[in-house]
Structure 1
Amino acid sequence: MIQLINLTKRYSKVKAIDNIRLEVKPGEIFGFLGPNGAGKTTTIKIMVGLLKPTSGRVIIDGNDIAKNPLEAKKVVGFIPDRPFLYEKLTGKEFLRFMAGLYSIDTNSYESKISELLELFELTAWGDELIEGYSHGMQQRLVMSSALIHNPKVIIVDEPMVGLDPKGARLVKEIFKAISSKGTTIFMSTHTLEIAEEMCDRIAIIQEG
């Protein structure tokens, strides 16, 4: 489902990542483990098309992210470590906006929005402005938006950052549930306990 082939990113004389090669199977929760500054976020930005590699390739669901970016991105839900939200929108308005980006039919996304708000325990806040959400609620809203188009692959950078214990437990349960239905999850973390609890397999990155 995901292939990283000899992936390298160099900034001047510094290699942020160096010849990464790995493969993630369909329906697997794959942990990308390493300390802060090891190259996890750089790798993920290349995987979702936000950065170009110095060399190497990223293949997602058979599509090269550099050669066929639209086809590759159609099947990906991306959850960044520092998400951006339009705080003057309500939760529902934000999810409608995200549905529009994926050209989802208006008749079908309203039920999907209700389903996602319930799944992430945000139903009571759906009509409230995002600026009134706690950080953890905002993080859960971003996660729900990444699922709006039923992606085959979820790529998530440090998923538990900013979540309280209840929110973290909820997200773990959701990730395991969608993985059991065939969705592939690639998640970075610097916490070994999270990787051990959630992941089917892991790769460790150290200094690229």
Structure 2
Amino acid sequence: MAYDKEEQGGRRLALERGVLKTALQSGVPPHALAGKLGEPGREPTVAQIAQAGRREIEQTFGQSPEAYSAKLAGQYDERLIVSNGSKRLERNYGRQWIATRVDDAGSLRKGVYPLHEAKPVAREAKELFAGTVLHVDGKHVYQELGKNNIARHDRAAFAEAPQIGAFTKIQYDAGKARIVDRDQSRGQQQAIGR
């Protein structure tokens, strides 16, 4: 299987990081660690190895090792910004926020929504979740329940994705999410908005 340069670098970084983490947790002495990293006979300290690797990664990929590892692992902060009639999905890979998608805002309220701070909802939840659906992707449905209170539902729990921007009531039954009183919820939201 062929890999591009960036993917090969990422795989090497992941391997070296795993070796370092295991060695540090296990109390492996620096000379043994140097041998594991391909420098037998030399006894550089772990700090020297880490600094050299950090500089190489920053020069090669233009990002810190932590940011690059997070990118490779699919771990990043994500936020939704709604302003000027558009909604912009941004990801932070360590040093800066990068817009990954821009769409029409529809009926979403202007604001910054930190999706990475959303609280996961268990499929066994008994309560009713009422609020505006902010964002839907392949894995999750994000719903604003109140100021600084965003719920993250598993997308797989829904038979059909809820409408973004709609005030929606979601309740779980036997692990499945269902939208309660869809038409009634829209009417209530319109009445509240008047």
TM-score by length of 2: 0.23
| Higher normalized strand content (fraction of residues) | 2
Structure number with larger C-alpha Rg = 2
TM-score by length of 1: 0.22
Larger RCO, structures 1/2 (Cα 8 Å, 6+ apart): 1
